[in-house]
Structure 1
């Protein structure tokens, strides 16, 4: 076959072949991915083990802001041994035993008040003893008709006044002794010190908070539940408690209180 017979010049042949080659070099079509197999099962009701889990906060069973009862200049704070072996003031993170003196204010002022009260009480008791002797004498004389009723009444009045003075000064001695004892701030129970709020040299008043303590020997677990579940929980129930800090261990707790109102934050 002669291409010139169809009106194509011979010189056009290379271009035609090139076009055919270019058409053959186009991108190949990508095969479609195979379908993903799916297993279909009929829906069934969930059969759980009946457990309901709640997030909770573990808190110290007792938490106290320990305040001074007697005011004055702070002269002493409990010293403990640090990790470096040196003595330092007790602070947050330290454990203290029950009755440990954590801090103390200056005692000299309270010792002087106690001595003054004791002196007044001693004088009052001496006056009471004399008034009692005078009353015994006046009673004997009055019984023998050797003393007038007016003088006898005066002896009775002096004895009553002396007895009142002795009782009043005795109460002052007791108060002064308590105030002196209260210059020492003691731990009411074995506790973890959460925070110390005073330094030596501070002037504290009665009611000034010196330490924040927490009893961590016993703890309480506080959690919230929905109102729908509340009917299933009652005082005395025993519940299982777990914590991430002690994995694998389970503790038993008892419901001891149920709040009468809902948490407004929940």
Structure 2
């Protein structure tokens, strides 16, 4: 009897436990979120339309000299004449400095005396050799001495010529590095010359716009110093290597103006117009998702967001041109894509 009572009590305990667990399961399942199959996700949309996507892009840079070099002598010695001042304009080949060449002239004079003696000997030997009075070897030796002396004179004349320091090209003396009386050696810079008859404007162009430039292209250049004047520029170089930010240096040659003179270091800008022929289908930039190589967007079809691959063309600050994947009048999602999957029911706003 006692065992039966214990068995009944055990069954009752198990039953209560099972009922408790079942009740807890029902409560837990009631708390689990179950999406409403009829619920729609609110999104913002735009209509695919034809638009003119022309865009003007401005690029800023600074002017640098066409040429800049240091003037250095080809000989060493004391500067006896210095014919330049900072800011002075000089022509190509103009004498800018003179080194002491007095000793070189003395050496040339001495060699000329020696040469004259050899030439007199040569004339005498020519007469004596004809009469067999002296050996022909004396005549040959004298002729060789004449040639060697003439070579030494040419060498000294070249050294004298090198004491004249001239401008390598036309330009402005932007820095004078020595004074008259200084002793310089070969290659010592004595001045800096800058050519700004033509200036180089270098602008950094981003990757998406680099194909709008080409060598030889004529382009207008503006500067804040002369806001009402356009300078004629020509693209001379497009770098084949960009920097870490995918910007490519573009070099533009600009002829300087007497009436509106430019200076190295001034800022200049160019404007390049990216013109699209006619109109093209376009969508707001916010509609495009995915990567640059695989652009995608959501299109509203029968109340659902359908993910589609598209091909994009020209862009500007607001719109992408769509070259493949859409048709005029389609509705595309521009906001709320983060909550969407392919086929999600949506409520367009």
Assess if the C-alpha contact under 8 Å between 1:117 and 1:176 holds in 2.
no
Aligned to 2:67: 62
5 Å-filtered alignment, 1:162-177, equals: 162-177=142-157
Assess if the C-alpha contact under 8 Å between 1:66 and 1:210 holds in 2.
yes
- Which of 158, 163, 166 pairs up with 1:178? 158
Aligned to 1:236: 216
- After superposition, the C-alpha distances for 1:106-160 in whole angstroms (9 at most, x for unaligned) are 221222222233333333444444455556x27xx7xxxxx9xxx8xx62x4444
Query: TM-score, length-normalised on structure 1?
Result: 0.62
Assess if the C-alpha contact under 8 Å between 1:121 and 1:173 holds in 2.
no
State the alpha-carbon separation in 1 of the partners of residues 56 and 144 from structure 2: 70
1:50 to partner: Cα distance: 4.0
1:192 to partner: Cα distance: 0.6
Structure with higher strand content: 2
- Which of 100, 119, 123 pairs up with 2:117? 123
Aligned to 1:215: 195
Aligned residues: 200
State the alpha-carbon separation in 2 of the partners of residues 171 and 233 from structure 1: 56
State the alpha-carbon separation in 2 of the partners of residues 158 and 234 from structure 1: 72
Structure 2 unaligned blocks of 5 or more:
1-45, 248-349
Structure 1 unaligned blocks of 5 or more:
1-41, 79-89, 142-146
Q: Say if 2:180 is the partner of 1:200.
A: yes
- After superposition, the C-alpha distances for 1:159-196 in whole angstroms (9 at most, x for unaligned) are 44433332332222122122212222222333111111
The alignment's C-alpha RMSD in Å is: 3.1
Query: TM-score, length-normalised on structure 2?
Result: 0.49
Q: Say if 2:93 is the partner of 1:113.
A: no
1:208 to partner: Cα distance: 0.9
Structure with higher helix content: 1
Q: Find the structure with the greater CA-based Rg.
A: 1
Q: Say if 2:104 is the partner of 1:104.
A: no
- Between 1:60-69 and 1:93-102, the stretch displaced more is 93-102
- SS of the residue corresponding to residue 57 of structure 1 reads strand
- After superposition, the C-alpha distances for 1:72-112 in whole angstroms (9 at most, x for unaligned) are 1122222xxxxxxxxxxx43222233443222222212222
State the alpha-carbon separation in 2 of the partners of residues 240 and 246 from structure 1: 13
Change in Cα spacing, 1:132 to 1:217, as seen in structure 2 (3 Å) is farther
Change in Cα spacing, 1:121 to 1:253, as seen in structure 2 (3 Å) is farther
Change in Cα spacing, 1:205 to 1:232, as seen in structure 2 (3 Å) is same
